[in-house]
Chains A and B, each alone.
Chain A
Amino acid sequence: MQVQTHVDIHSEWGIVAARQAGRKLAREIGFGSVDQARITTAISELARNIYLYANKGQIQIEEVTVSGKRGIKIIAVDEGPGIKDLRRVMEDGFTTSGGLGAGLPGVKRLMDEFDIDSEMNAGTSISAIKWLR
């Protein structure tokens, strides 16, 4: 059975709920404690981005299986203002929230696969996968 969870993000409580759901699924899939912490940090970052810049959005967490490989997939969707310069936000050292090493490049590093789509005044959708080794 493919587990899929949706968490609405419109407050910091939502961020915690998304983390909780992510950690639970990661544990069930069989990720070790270090990877569990990485996955929840990635979820945190994505959820915080929604909370800070789009006000409202959703985190979806699901198990994925591709040719025998198992993993966890996080999808962050919002209908916020969109990101103007994607290349810029994916650059190390560029951050609007003043964090060290975090932001979208941080999420990309924590996970194995990363994909982003954004349209001005329409919203942003980010998906990231971590594979079980």
Chain B
Amino acid sequence: MEETKISMYQLYKDMLTSYLKNKSEHALYHAQQFSKEMMEKDMSPEETVSLHLSVFQELAEDLPEEVVDSFDLLLEVMIGYGLAYREHQSLRDRQRQIESELNVAARMQKSLLPNGEISLDSVDLGVISVPAGKMSGDYYDYSLDEHGNIGVAVADVIGKGVPAAMSMSMIKYAMDTLPEQRLEPGALLESLNRVVERNIDSDMFITMMYGFYHPEEHYFSYASAGHEPGFVYNLEKDSFESLEAKGLVLGVSPKVRYKPDVINLNVGDFIVLLSDGVTECRVDEEFIEREQLVQMIRKYKHLSAQEIVEQIYQDLEKAQEFQLRDDFTLLILRRKV
């Protein structure tokens, strides 16, 4: 430390000498580089002021007393800046630490979602889920039972960030304890509703849509708890219709009934499930209309399900200048044979 102080002194003295002699831009440029070095060496503003004065006193003999005294005032003021500077450094370190904790949590959360493709002869499945921040309040799931039934779910915790993510993991664990209700969308939501109602604050809500596809009877049975309606595409008519079902959001009341609906799927028909982060994308300061979303899906419908969801995400991300305001989840399930 003493050694660096001496070498800093010498460096500063050389710089100041050179500047006082020819007032060159070059010396000023040096000073700018020097300031970076000082910060790396943790030199505070008050030390810099003091360094300047002692070098100056050596170079210019017989400095007027007022000049020297005036530095007392400057030094006092700089102490305050020095404190703010050190606080800034410590807050920055803390921010790094919080960020790395969040990264670990985000990785853990990711491991709660299904990964790995389901490749099946009966359906073509695609899903994309992107959090607005590090943690997501969206949840999705797909699963296959021993009879080939494919269950799909999208849930959306109202809110964002860590609290939403914690609620989302609760849905995941509750789903895991209810394998026998995977073929009863209404009963499944009723069970989840009881768990949510008991375990989260009354000012938090979760919306969810769950359904499953029966690969032999070719129907899709689903129920919704106040969730953003999805879409169903009919290949023969080349038309999109809203996929909705009535039902209260999860967590409001302990006893709620959810009535499942059933639709038939022909070859090439597909189901679209989404979170409101998709429809609340803003293009030119306005929410996109569901009709615009339909047009986007239509544009890419010749692609595979995974390619469609990825293309739509890319388009919407770009249209919003890469600023997601809400967690974004889009899932497509298409009957293949």
Contact = CB atoms under 8 A, between A and B. Distances in A.
A93 B82 CA distance: 15
A41 B79 CA distance: 8
Contact of B86 (A33, A34, A41, A109): A109
Given A37-B79, A41-B79, A41-B80, A101 B72 contact: no
Contacts of B35: none
Given A92-B94, A102-B80, A33 B85 contact: no
Contacts of A106: 83, 87
B87 A105 contact: yes
B47 interface: yes
A93 B91 contact: yes
Interface string A73-114: 000000000000000000011000000111001100110000
Of B75, B82, B85, the most chain A CB neighbours within 10 A belong to B82
Contact of B46 (A34, A100, A101, A105): A34
B264 interface: no
B84 interface: yes
A38 interface: yes
A37 B83 contact: no
A32 interface: yes
Interface string B60-84: 0000000000011001100110111
Interface in A33-57: 33-34, 37-38, 40-41
Interface string B288-324: 0000000000000000000000000000000000000
B50 A34 contact: yes
Of A37, A41, A106, the most chain B CB neighbours within 10 A belong to A37
Nearest to B88: A101
A93 B76 CA distance: 22
Contacts, number: 49
Given A93-B91, A109-B86, A101 B80 contact: yes
A37 B74 CA distance: 10
A31 B46 CA distance: 14
A92 B75 contact: no
B90 interface: yes
A18 to B, nearest CB: 15
Contacts of A101: 80, 82-88
Of B50, B83, B90, the most chain A CB neighbours within 10 A belong to B83
Contact of A37 (B46, B84, B85): B46
Contact of A100 (B47, B72, B75, B84): B84
Of A33, A34, A38, A92, the most chain B CB neighbours within 10 A belong to A34
Contact of A33 (B72, B82, B84, B88): B72
B87 A32 contact: no
Nearest to A38: B79
Given A33-B72, A34-B47, A92 B87 contact: yes
A102 B80 CA distance: 7
A105 B87 CA distance: 8
Given A32-B50, A33-B75, A37-B75, A100 B83 contact: yes
Contacts of B90: 92, 105
A33 B50 CA distance: 8
B97 to A, nearest CB: 12
A32 B49 CA distance: 13
Given A34-B50, A37-B46, A92-B94, A100 B76 contact: no
Interface of A: 32-34, 37-38, 40-41, 92-93, 100-102, 105-106, 109-110
Given A40-B76, A100-B84, 19 more contacts: A32-B50, A33-B50, A33-B72, A37-B75, A37-B76, A37-B79, A38-B79, A41-B76, A41-B79, A41-B80, A41-B83, A92-B90, A93-B87, A100-B83, A101-B80, A101-B83, A102-B83, A105-B87, A110-B83
22 contacts: A33-B75, A34-B47, A37-B72, A37-B76, A38-B46, A38-B79, A40-B76, A41-B76, A92-B87, A92-B90, A93-B87, A93-B91, A100-B80, A100-B84, A100-B87, A101-B80, A101-B85, A105-B87, A105-B90, A106-B87, A109-B83, A110-B79
- In order of increasing CB-CB distance, the 5 nearest A-B pairs are A101-B83, A101-B84, A101-B87, A100-B84, A106-B83
